[in-house]
Amino acid sequence: MENPYLSIVIPAYNEASRQGKGIREHMKEIKAYFEGKNISYEVVVVNDGSKDDTSEVVKSFMADFSDFNFIDRKENKGKLFSVQEGLLKAKGKFRLFTDADGATPIETLDNFWGHLEAGEHVIIGSRDLQQSKIEKHQPKVKELLGNMGNLLIQFTLDLRGIEDTQCGFKVLSQEVVEKIIPQMKAIRWGGDFEILALAKKMGYKIIEVPVTWIDSGQSTVGIKGYIQTLKELFQVKWRMVTGQYQCRNNKQ
Ligand SMILES: Nc1nc2c(ncn2[C@@H]2O[C@H](COP(=O)(O)OP(=O)(O)O)[C@@H](O)[C@H]2O)c(=O)[nH]1
Ligand SMILES: [Mg+2]
């Protein structure tokens, strides 16, 4: 089979037990969205060692797609580890990663296609632009922690102006995947800013695109997640300043 235009990588952890909109609805929406569109795509779901029936649930809709890959790992390693695995398994010219619960609906891609066609390399969803549509907000404390965390991230990793590094809806070109993703080490939640920091250092333009966000009201990320993210932030910074990444600026 020819390589698809777009790969859709979905990390999944205990998604079978999520209340409300979840992976089943999200997969239906993906299928419906591409119906009638002349765009080749594949789906890559990575089960991150779920303790519930996520594996069975994913298997139940595999047959609905002509190009579906399932990495069914037994051990929990982290969201961004799963994203890394999925992005490297994927074959698309462009590769999207998005959350299993579909908090950012797949139709949001409507805002992305133009940038893909223009040959951009790093196009990321943002919940903090003027045109972003937050239909259901995250709990207030999460939003506040998110905004404070964002300032710290912008400042620490020289990502000034990027208002939302953590939105789980990002498209990378094949070139960026090949150069950056094998180097990722922040495998829990820090991988998002690790990717962006490397991309910036290599001279890639980072394009922020407004997204719609409908918070599922249920999160698998708790306070431990925030502490982990902070730790990963300083680890990424450390690897940066001690020259542990290969990030030659190829745009100069
Ligand atoms: N909490 C958690 N989520 C994971 C893990 N691995 C993958 N994920 C996925 O990460 C995504 C974001 O999780 P979610 O609970 O929606 O978090 P939130 O919406 O950012 O608060 C979902 O697709 C999860 O299935 C993991 O180890 N822990
Ligand atoms: Mg969510």
Q: Give the model's pLDDT for residue 250.
A: 64
Note the Cα 225 to chain centre separation in Å: 16
Per-residue pLDDT of the chain (252 residues; tens, 9 = 90+): 789 999 999 999 999 999 888 999 999 999 999 998 999 999 999 999 999 999 999 999 999 999 999 999 999 999 999 999 999 999 999 999 999 999 999 999 999 999 999 999 999 999 999 999 999 898 998 889 999 999 999 999 999 999 999 999 999 999 999 999 999 999 999 999 999 999 999 999 999 999 999 988 888 788 889 999 999 999 999 999 999 999 888 665
CA of 215 to the centre of ligand 2 (A): 6
Q: Which atom of ligand 1 is nearest to the CA of 13?
A: 25
Q: Which residues line ligand 1 (CB under 6 A)?
A: 11-13, 15, 48, 76, 78-79, 82, 99-101, 103, 168, 219-221
Structure tokens at 70: 């399932």
Nearby residues of 1 by Cβ (< 8 Å), 6 or more positions away: 67
Structure tokens at 75: 């051990």
Q: Give the model's pLDDT for residue 21.
A: 87
Q: Give the model's pLDDT for residue 1.
A: 74
Where are the domains positioned within the chain? 6-241
Q: Give the model's pLDDT for residue 215.
A: 86
Spatial distance between the Cα atoms of 49 and 40, rounded to a whole number of angstroms: 29
CA of 109 to the centre of ligand 2 (A): 18
Q: Give the model's pLDDT for residue 252.
A: 54
Q: Whose CA is nearest to atom 5 of ligand 1?
A: 79
Strand partners, 95: 7, 172
**Do the Cβ atoms of 101 and 21 come closer than 8 Å?**
yes
* Ligand number, closest to the Cα atom of 14: 1
- What CATH architecture is 6-241? Alpha-Beta Complex (3.90)
Q: Give the model's pLDDT for residue 108.
A: 97
Q: Give the model's pLDDT for residue 219.
A: 81
